[in-house]
């Protein structure tokens, strides 16, 4: 395969990946950063890094899990560089997490309650519960994305759900 054919193949793979996963990746970034602009920046950098990875001739087993892993790592880097700001303080300043153009969830009040409740979970349960409930990812994909086994992801999900149940009571 010559260079031009490889470039077309990479472009096609990137386009398909963007079409299939950009909305859910954006929601993850928005959920984690509480900033529309930061979420867009992280989403863009996620796809740039994916392009770099593919251009090195490396193979991706699970595209969605791989993209989520890149995005999560970029979010961690973002928070290492910037002091953390709580969702509550952003809401006081007028931020509304259900107000993003990519977020197509109909009932804004339920989204706010769900996000606030998930944010109250223990740190090790937050991502698993979010990926399962909001993004509807299978446990195997969640495990790959977080670098844990599917069994560990399942256990964390069930423990997180028990915590959510206690929150709602």
DSSP 118-138: HHTS-HHHHHHHHHHHTS---
Residue 84, CA distances (Å) to 81, 106, 135 in order: 9, 28, 24
Assess whether pLDDT exceeds 60 at residue 22: yes
Average pLDDT over the chain, rounded to an integer: 81
Using CB atoms within 10 Å of the CB of residue 112, give its burial: 0 to 12 exposed, 13 to 18 middle, 19+ buried. middle
Closest CA to 125 of 95, 166, 84, 89: 166
Does this model's pTM top 0.85? My answer is no
Say how many Å lie between the first and final Cα of the chain, rounded.
60
Task: Report the range of poorest mean pLDDT among 17-21, 93-97, 132-136.
Answer: 93-97
pLDDT, mean of residues 117-133 = 85
Domains and CATH numbers, the chain: 1-94 (1.10.1740), 105-169 (1.10.10.10)
Place of tokens 């031009």: 4
């Amino acid at each position: 395969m010559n260079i031009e054919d490889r470039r077309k193949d990479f472009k096609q793979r990137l386009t398909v990946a963007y079409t299939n996963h950009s909305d859910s990746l954006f929601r993850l970034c928005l959920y984690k950063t509480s900033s529309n602009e930061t979420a867009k920046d992280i989403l863009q950098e996620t796809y740039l890094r994916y392009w770099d990875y593919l251009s090195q001739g490396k193979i991706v087993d699970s595209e969605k899990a791989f993209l989520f892993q890149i995005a999560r790592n970029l979010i961690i880097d973002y928070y290492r560089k910037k002091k953390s700001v709580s969702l509550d303080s952003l809401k006081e300043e007028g931020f509304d997490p259900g107000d993003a153009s990519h977020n197509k969830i109909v009932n804004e009040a339920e989204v706010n309650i769900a996000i606030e409740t998930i944010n109250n979970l223990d740190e090790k349960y937050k991502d698993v519960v979010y990926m399962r409930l909001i993004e509807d990812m299978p446990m195997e994909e969640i495990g790959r994305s977080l670098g844990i086994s599917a069994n560990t992801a399942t256990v964390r999900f069930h423990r997180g759900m028990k915590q959510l149940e206690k929150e709602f009571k």
